[in-house]
Amino acid sequence: MASLELGHTLVIANPASRSGHGAHAAEHVQRFFESYGNATRSFDIEYTRAPLDAVEMAAQAGGMDTIIALGGDGVIHEVVNGLMAVDKRDRPRLGVIPMGSGNDFARTLNATFNKPETSLAELLNGQVRRIELGNVVSDKEPRGIAGTEGNYFMETLSFGLDAAIALDTTKRRNDGTKQEGAALFATSSLKIFSKASDGFACRLSLDGGEAQELRTIILAIQNGPTYGGGFRICPAAVPTDGLLSICHNTRTACVPHVLFLLALARFGKHTRSRIVKLPTCTHMSVEFMDTIPLCQIDGEELTGSRYDVRVVPDALEVIVPSRCTW
C-alpha cells in the first residue's frame, strides 16, 4: 500500500528523453494512475515539445500538490527553475521519474533510473525531504530562464574544460549518439582534454574572503556528488547541508596527468591529489580575465565572465526513496 499521498499531480514528460523511451514511460505512468485512482487525487500529463516548455508548465502549476518531472536532468532542471518562480506557499513538491543518459540528480536522490515502474513505486512509498538549490547570476544573464533573479541548479555548475565536456555530451545526445552515462562522458573527455589548454585565469572568492588568483582547468560547484553520469567530482556533497561543494585545481598539469585525475574522479579518488582542492561555501564569486571559458548549468550553456553563486537553503520539497540516507 502506498504510504505517500501525491494529491493533485501534474506529470511533465519529455517524450524524446533517452531516445524516445520517455514517451513509453509516460504512457506507462498514465495507465498506472488511471488504474490506481487512490494514488492521486487527480492527475494530468503534459508533454514538452520544445526547449523551456517544462519551465512554463511548472511555473503555472502553483497550488498543485506534486509535480513529477519525467525525463533526464535537462527537463528536471527546467521544472526546478519553473517551480522556483512559484510563490513558496503554493510551490508543489517535486518527484522525478528519471529517464535520461546521465541521471545525476537521480543518483543524488538514491533513486532508480530508466525503470519507470520502479520509479513509480519509489515515489508512492517515498519520503518528502526539503533540499537546497544553487543559484547563479552572471553579468550576461542576470535573469533566469523562468524570469527569476538568476538560474537555479539542482546538481551542478561548472566552468572550463569539464563544462566543455558536459556541453559536448549534450550535443552528441541531441545528434543521436548511442553512448550513455559515464561512457559518453569519458569519450567526450578524451576529445576535449586532448586539446587541453593551460587553464583559464580567474579570481575566486569564497564567502566574502580574499580573492584567490587561479588558473583553472576545472572549476565545478556541486549540490550533489556526481556529474557526467556518475563521476564523483564532490563525493561528500549532499543537498541538505546548507553548503555548496567545490572542486578545482590549484595548478595546471600535463594532459596525461589531467586524464588520470579524470579517471580517478569516476570513483571519487581524485580527492587525494595535491593539485585538487574541495572547499565548501554558501556564496562564491568568480571573475574570468583573458579567455572566457564555457560554463554549463545542469548540462545547459550559460554565458558571462563574472558569476555570483549562492546556496538557497530549504528551497524545494522533493520526494526521495525510503532508502535515501540523507
Mean pLDDT of 250-266: 80
pLDDT at residue 1 tops 60: no
Per-residue model confidence (pLDDT) at position 203: 97
Q: State percent of the chain over pLDDT 70.
A: 93
Identify the CA nearest to 101 among candidates 179, 157, 14, 23: 179
Beta strands in the chain (DSSP E): 8-13, 42-47, 66-71, 93-98, 127-138, 151-153, 156-160, 200-206, 212-216, 218-222, 244-249, 276-277, 280-281, 283-288, 295-297, 300-302, 306-320
* 192 has pLDDT over 80: no
Residue 165's pLDDT band, with cuts at 50, 70 and 90, is confident
- Lowest average pLDDT, out of 13-17, 81-85, 178-182, goes to 178-182
Q: Pick the residue with more confidence: 77 or 227?
A: 77
pLDDT-above-90 percentage for the chain:
76
Question: What domains lie within the chain, and their CATH numbers?
Answer: 8-131+316-320 (3.40.50.10330), 135-314 (2.60.200.40)
pLDDT of residue 195: 58
pLDDT digits (tens, 9 = 90+) for 147-163: 999 999 999 999 987 77
Of these ranges, 2-6, 89-93, 188-192, the one predicted with the greatest mean pLDDT is 89-93
Q: Which pLDDT belongs to residue 3?
A: 75
- Has residue 20 got a pLDDT over 50? yes
| Grid cell in block for residue 125 | 512509498
- Residue-wise pLDDT for 60-79, tens only, equals 999 999 999 999 999 999 99
- pLDDT for the residue numbered 190: 65
Select from 171, 179, 164, 159 the least CA-distant residue to 249: 159
Q: Are 33 and 39 in contact (CB under 8 A)?
A: yes
How far is residue 192's CA from residue 164's CA, in Å, rounded to a whole number? 7
Contacts of 202 (CB under 8 A, 6+ apart): 159, 213, 214, 215, 216, 219, 286, 287, 288, 289
* Cα–Cα distance measured from residue 226 to residue 211, given in angstroms and rounded to the nearest whole number: 27
pLDDT band at 199 (very low <50, low <70, confident <90, very high): confident
